[in-house]
A and B are shown apart, each in its own frame.
Chain A
Amino acid sequence: MHRYKFVLYRPLQFLPVLFGISIITFVLVRLIPGDPARVLLGTRATPTAIARIREQYGLDEPLWLQYFYFIQNLGRGEMGKSILYKIDVLRLIATRIEPTLMLVITSVVLSILIALPMSAIAARRQGRLPDQAVRVVSTMGIGFPPFWLALMLIIFFSVKLDLFPVSGYGNTLPEKLWHLALPSLTVALSLSAVVTRSLRAAMIHSLRSDVATAARARGMPESIVFWRHVLPNSLVPTINLLAVNIGWLIGGTVIVESVFALPGMGQLLVRAIFSRDYMVVQGVAMVFACATVLINFLADIITVTVDPRVKL
């Protein structure tokens, strides 16, 4: 079990990483032109009112002191008060994290469900019609922008067929999943395209490998050769690709949540940016960054489980 030791000490390495992320998000947010107090109070606000708001939110302090308070608050489990919503950012995020989390999970599951059979079919019939079809579809999946894809899905499935809701989020789990169907399909169509291309290439390589030849020479039928030898050997490079793309996907939820009016973190982020709600922007950015770090950590654990040769 010593191969899993990194699960214990790797989190130690997260500390400097998170420290760096906090500095970068903190500074970047403050580089956005515009004054949150002015946005909050409107164009006709008096200079004294603006000064009062700035003082109230600590925006008149020097930058390093603001950062110090930020870190101090983090230690207490707070991220500062949202200017717009008047509650602590962490609590605000907690109310919004569920739809985003659900969206990411359903999209990833859906894209694996799409990518696995597609790449298996393509790889086992390389160069023939099914393979060509999969390649065309996956190139299209990469090529179409998600916002356009989202609108097309809405027009077809919601407006024409009336199968799924146009927007919003439900209260019970089946209701939620029903609302998430089109958003997650939007994401999955692009994500599965990327995964399919990688997995197909890895499978074609494995199908021709010595491992497959040796299994065939033992009289294994093609199905066993494929599922027990080719697939596990093809997964390793794909796991890391998937992890990188999930990290990218979390940022990408912004667009999909906006189109489908899902009350998640992406929507929160968009509104926070427009209203210069510093605390919320940096809070959401921090959470996104942590999630990316965590997902890659998870991918490492899966890689070690799948491939006994890997040592971390």
Chain B
Amino acid sequence: MTAPLLSIRDLVVNFHGQGAPRTLIDHVSVDLAEGEILGLVGESGSGKSLLCRAVMGLLPSRRLMIDGGLVALWGRDLVKASPADMLAVRGREIGMIFQNPTSHLDPVMKIGDQIAEGIRFHQGASAREAREAAVEILRQVGFPDPARQYDNYPHEFSGGMRQRAMIAAALSCRPKILIADEPTTALDVTIQAQILELLLDLRERLGLSVILITHDLGIVAQTCDRIAVMRDGKLVEQGPKRQVLRAPKHDYTRMLIGSHPSLPAGNIAKPCNVGPAVRQKERPLLEIDDLHVRFDTGGSLFRPGRKTVSAVKGVSLQVMPGDAIGIVGESGSGKSTLARAILGLVPLSSGHIAFDGVDIAQQPRKALAKLRRETAMVFQDPLNALNPRLTVGETLGEVLKIHGTPVAEIPGRINELLDLVHLGREFAGRKPRSMSGGQCQRVGIARALAVNPRLIIADECVAALDVTIQKQIVDLFAELKARMNLTLLFIAHDLAIVRNLCERVLVMYHGEIVEEGLSADIFARPQRPYTAALIDAVPDIDPDKKLLAPKTDVEPAAA
């Protein structure tokens, strides 16, 4: 191997608050070779983003300070570089892209101007030259009509195109190193695959070296050459991708690999219920018949000509008691609208929903009362779904009280619920702010269980969590399902999770169910090309199961 392009040695970052400084990055040493993709893996709070901010000289607070070590770029120590020197390093030698392109692009500036800005500043180009260069970069990152799209604003693009624009802005001055901080976490799997493909392609064409921060080992396995695993500010393990994935040395790495949802097919949830012959005698708990939900958009008093958008088009579904059904699809596929329709939160345009034999459209008051007593929802963002002013005990107590639990029994029930979701009883006195995302989501589940629901709808309830936490929550659902005979509608864009938890799967696309069946069948033999594409887009943890069509060999040229 040649000398590393970027070399981080014994880097220490401390937080200087009141009292003794707290160490957030603890003597981390890692190298990035030329043309290499380094995967930086770890949970949120492990310091992987902070490490890259430190390299860029962009620590988010004045109280964070680099207290030791060096960052060598072509033999120059960036830690000691002056602010003026760092301006030249950022954008020109190291580019950076972020998790959320929507919040990182300037909403009031044309997308092309945000790219041209750097070219003008760093290369002293004229306005016209910069525009031409920016149009060329937009073309390279996959904008179909860059000359025209230069003048569009970020909100006029989809999430995937926004991430492409971010990449274009980061690469506008031809940096040699790209730091990508969770670049695909906010995107759908199919879009994620496209963005990863673009990164690999750009690496080839521009000779980039990439540090890819992610919590998804599947992405690492598919794209990176080497892996560095971080935990609590320390680098616990690093090495070539295959070596780390096959023979992890550290317990934590083993746990990360173990939590990855795309593991062998042995995990697939089996239909734990009785066979279909017996089940047909039961009455379905939830029956949906040719459901349509349409929204009016645009138009006003003075401007007729409103448009109708169909979010759900002709969905039919039967849910038996004890079923666990996964609903998968990309954003915009109508899966959340379907869930909201089931709970009576959006008006139905046509079709029927019957819960336990009561039709929502025909007997709305009775059905809604019944629904709200006997169903519960678990939300995507666990922290924002909890009232920050209430303690966990108060949150649960409130639900119990509304549902008529005698006051004397409430404390006991709260303890039971906390036991069920494996939270210590002392959590009753804590507030959401002082809890982690996984703990908040456990409270969210406990709150759902408080009503003794016959149906739980979980809308993307693990999407915001780290993989290890995801696995714990999914395991919790599986356990509760077995113990309490819960009926579960599990909405997710992550197919692997659905496969491990649900025996039946519905695939939604543009408001329609395009495929449905047993999880095992669908994942093994998808009938529709869309389902197949969705499954193929999931990055597998096995580096030999290629994510992308074998168009180019993604292995780096021998160094």
Interface residues in chain A, defined as those with a beta carbon under 8 Å from any beta carbon in chain B:
5, 9, 12, 209-211, 213-221, 224, 228-229, 232-233, 236, 306-309
| A219 near B88: Cβ-Cβ < 8 Å | yes
For the complex, give the distance between the alpha carbons of A216 and B92 in Å. 12
Contact sample, A vs B, 30 pairs, CB 8 Å cutoff: A5-B303, A209-B103, A211-B107, A213-B60, A214-B105, A214-B106, A216-B58, A216-B90, A217-B56, A217-B98, A217-B170, A218-B95, A218-B170, A219-B86, A219-B87, A219-B89, A219-B91, A219-B121, A219-B122, A220-B91, A220-B117, A221-B87, A224-B121, A233-B106, A236-B108, A307-B107, A308-B153, A308-B155, A309-B107, A309-B108
Nearest CB in chain A: distance from B213 CB, A: 13
| A217 near B95: Cβ-Cβ < 8 Å | yes
| A228 near B121: Cβ-Cβ < 8 Å | no
For the complex, give the distance between the alpha carbons of A307 and B172 in Å. 25
Residue from A5, A213, A215, A219 with most neighbouring chain B CB atoms (10 Å):
A219
| B56 near A228: Cβ-Cβ < 8 Å | no
- B56: chain A residues at CB < 8 Å are 217
For the complex, give the distance between the alpha carbons of A279 and B58 in Å. 65
- B122: chain A residues at CB < 8 Å are 219
| B108 near A308: Cβ-Cβ < 8 Å | yes
| B92 near A211: Cβ-Cβ < 8 Å | no
For the complex, give the distance between the alpha carbons of A213 and B90 in Å. 11
Interface residues in chain B, defined as those with a beta carbon under 8 Å from any beta carbon in chain A:
56, 58, 60, 86-92, 95-96, 98, 100, 103-109, 117-118, 121-122, 153, 155, 166, 169-170, 172-173, 302-303
| A232 near B117: Cβ-Cβ < 8 Å | no
The 5 closest A-B pairs by CB, nearest first: A219-B91, A219-B90, A214-B104, A217-B96, A210-B103
For the complex, give the distance between the alpha carbons of A298 and B135 in Å. 35
Nearest CB in chain B: distance from A231 CB, A: 10
Nearest CB in chain B: distance from A300 CB, A: 15
| A210 near B98: Cβ-Cβ < 8 Å | yes
| B169 near A218: Cβ-Cβ < 8 Å | yes
Name the contact of A220 in the complex, choosing from B100, B118, B170 (C-beta under 8 A). Answer: B118
**Given contacts A211-B103, A213-B58, A214-B166, is CB(A220)–CB(B121) below 8 Å?**
yes
For the complex, give the distance between the alpha carbons of A219 and B96 in Å. 10
Q: A217-B91, A217-B95, A219-B86 are in contact. List 10 more A-B contacts (CB 8 A).
A: A209-B103, A210-B103, A213-B60, A214-B105, A214-B169, A218-B172, A219-B89, A220-B87, A224-B117, A309-B107
Nearest CB in chain B: distance from A299 CB, A: 16
Nearest CB in chain A: distance from B297 CB, A: 11
- Closest B residue by C-beta to A221: B87
- Closest B residue by C-beta to A307: B108
Nearest CB in chain B: distance from A295 CB, A: 22
- A233: chain B residues at CB < 8 Å are 106-108
For the complex, give the distance between the alpha carbons of A213 and B107 in Å. 14
Query: Total A-B pairs in contact (CB under 8 Å)?
Result: 88
For the complex, give the distance between the alpha carbons of A216 and B89 in Å. 11
Nearest CB in chain B: distance from A177 CB, A: 34
- Closest A residue by C-beta to B181: A217
For the complex, give the distance between the alpha carbons of A232 and B107 in Å. 10
- B155: chain A residues at CB < 8 Å are 308-309
Nearest CB in chain A: distance from B179 CB, A: 8
- B92: chain A residues at CB < 8 Å are 219
**Given contacts A219-B173, A308-B153, is CB(A210)–CB(B109) below 8 Å?**
no
| A215 near B108: Cβ-Cβ < 8 Å | no
For the complex, give the distance between the alpha carbons of A306 and B108 in Å. 7
| B117 near A211: Cβ-Cβ < 8 Å | no
Nearest CB in chain A: distance from B133 CB, A: 14
For the complex, give the distance between the alpha carbons of A229 and B169 in Å. 14
For the complex, give the distance between the alpha carbons of A210 and B169 in Å. 14
- Closest A residue by C-beta to B153: A308
Name the contact of B302 in the complex, choosing from A12, A220, A228, A306 (C-beta under 8 A). Answer: A12
For the complex, give the distance between the alpha carbons of A285 and B118 in Å. 52
For the complex, give the distance between the alpha carbons of A85 and B106 in Å. 57
- B109: chain A residues at CB < 8 Å are 228-229, 232
For the complex, give the distance between the alpha carbons of A228 and B103 in Å. 16
For the complex, give the distance between the alpha carbons of A271 and B478 in Å. 81
Nearest CB in chain A: distance from B302 CB, A: 4
Residue from B100, B103, B107, B155 with most neighbouring chain A CB atoms (10 Å):
B107
- B166: chain A residues at CB < 8 Å are 214
For the complex, give the distance between the alpha carbons of A215 and B96 in Å. 10
- B303: chain A residues at CB < 8 Å are 5, 9
| B153 near A309: Cβ-Cβ < 8 Å | yes
Name the contact of A218 in the complex, choosing from B100, B103, B107, B118 (C-beta under 8 A). Answer: B118
For the complex, give the distance between the alpha carbons of A127 and B286 in Å. 58
Nearest CB in chain B: distance from A73 CB, A: 30
Nearest CB in chain B: distance from A305 CB, A: 10
- B172: chain A residues at CB < 8 Å are 218
**Given contacts A214-B98, A228-B109, A308-B155, is CB(A219)–CB(B118) below 8 Å?**
yes
- Closest B residue by C-beta to A229: B106
- A9: chain B residues at CB < 8 Å are 302-303
| B58 near A217: Cβ-Cβ < 8 Å | yes
**Given contacts A9-B302, A213-B58, is CB(A218)–CB(B108) below 8 Å?**
no
For the complex, give the distance between the alpha carbons of A219 and B117 in Å. 10
- B117: chain A residues at CB < 8 Å are 215, 218, 220, 224, 228
Nearest CB in chain B: distance from A123 CB, A: 15
| A218 near B105: Cβ-Cβ < 8 Å | no
Nearest CB in chain A: distance from B177 CB, A: 12
For the complex, give the distance between the alpha carbons of A187 and B495 in Å. 63
- A309: chain B residues at CB < 8 Å are 107-108, 153, 155
For the complex, give the distance between the alpha carbons of A79 and B104 in Å. 55
| B96 near A221: Cβ-Cβ < 8 Å | no
Nearest CB in chain A: distance from B540 CB, A: 31
| B91 near A218: Cβ-Cβ < 8 Å | yes
Residue from A210, A214, A215, A218 with most neighbouring chain B CB atoms (10 Å):
A218
